[in-house]
Amino acid sequence: MEAVQFHPTPLFPSGILLTEGCRGDGGVLRDVDGHRFMPDYEPEKKDLASRDVVSRRMMEHMRKGKGVKSVYGTHLWLDISILGREHIEKNLRDVQEICEYFAGIDPADEGQKGWAPVHPMQHYSMGGIRTKPTGESQTLSGLFSAGEAACWDMHGFNRLGGNSVSETVVAGMIIGNYFADYCLDNQIDIKTSVIEKFVHEKESYMQELVSRKGTEDVFRIKNRMKKIMQEYVGIFRDGEGLAKAVKELEELYIQSKNIGIKDKQLNVNPELEEAYRVPMMLKVALCVAKGALDRTESRGAHTREDYPKRDDANWLKRTLTSWEEGDTMPTVEYEPLDIMTMEIPPGFRGYGAKGNLIENPLSLERQAEVDQLTEKLEADGKDRFEIQDALMPFPLQAEYKRKNKRLGDK
């Protein structure tokens, strides 16, 4: 849950996403002086570095006092005016309309007049419901999950731009079929009395919320939670800040049990809605913050300034969090990864600075094993499908194991 991705270019302050296609087409980021700063940090990839890298560089640049001050806070500029009006109105029309509707600017206007204010914001959670390869929960039979709600191991601790497409067409397709099969094989009758029981429980809880004579303001709690997460559990993290976050979030969670609601009606009541949702939001926030505090390394979207290295020797494991009834903190456990079953064992991938990795000694051992097995299978005339299955078998329905052709296949 501690792996939270930030997108570099949401429109500020509304938070509406301006696609990475802006920079893909040649748009650039500028600071308060109008300087294009990304080449200073990433001379090779410049503005086209991965979204987590760009987000970190933007925050780093603003920390140096190069951000643009506004009544809403500090931001930077996204300049696509250099692409020209014709290109923008043909290829980035949705971006133009978002800027016009929500910021009152036309990004096709030349010069600073057309620059869009942007600031990195939370975009995607790599964590989710832990599932089997079929998409079914490992602990609750019949519960299937796909997409951002699931931890299906498509992303790991980071997520590349465009992975939502593969998640939709790959995970959605595979898990959808497994779910359909489950429904065919598990016909059940559910008594309406069972449903009524849970409906009545929720109705009683909502009635209890409006009847409480608590003294805590739900909007104050929610706003404080947002500030804590942004300040201590955001793009840059450290032990001191995370410890403060965990301590104060737990206090806020306890306070959320004493919320007082002024509007006592059960219908069309935003205050009641927040009183219902905020305690659950605090639980999720605590799972993220506690997981980030305990994970003493930097990995993917989780960046610890006091532990800058990726530590495969000690932290090659999934974080599993759960919540026992009545507890004020989540239970945090870990599921180790088995390197010796991997087709591509962990190693340096050219991502980040060299030497910023504490390698697991099993990686080299497994890589030698993979190379040896691959060489033998190729010598025996095995095709890439047989080699893949030998190196890392993955349970799939037969229709998805059909052989396809690639350019260069004999």
Phi-psi region of 251 (alpha: psi -120 to 50; beta: other; left: phi over 0): alpha
Asked whether the CA dihedral 296, 302, 306, 310 is positive or negative, the reply is positive
Return phi, psi of residue 21, to 5°. -60, -25
Instruction: Write out the DSSP string of 65-134.
Output: IISEEETTEEEEEEE-GGG-HHHHHHH-HHHHHHHHHHHS--TTSSGGGGPEEE--EEEEES--EEB-TT
CA distances from 376 to 21, 23, 393 (A): 44, 45, 17
Convert 83-108 to b/e letters by CB count within 10 Å (16 or more is b): beeeebeeebeebbebbeeebebbbb
Cβ atoms of 348 and 335 within 8 Å: the answer is: no
159 is catalytic: no
As a whole number of angstroms, the distance between CA 384 and CA 394 comes to 14
- Separation of alpha carbons 198 and 287, rounded Å: 26
Catalytic one of 7, 30, 57, 130: 7
**What are the structure tokens assigned to 159, written together?**
């997520």
| Annotated catalytic residue, options 23, 51, 155, 310 | 23
Residues 6+ apart with CB under 8 A from 21: 91, 92, 95
Can you read off the two tokens belonging to residue 409? 């296949």
Q: Which of 169, 170, 126, 175 is CA-nearest to residue 149?
A: 126
Q: Alpha-carbon torsion 389, 390, 393, 398, what sign? A: positive
Q: Are 161 and 123 in contact (CB under 8 A)?
A: no
Q: Which residues are catalytic?
A: 7, 23
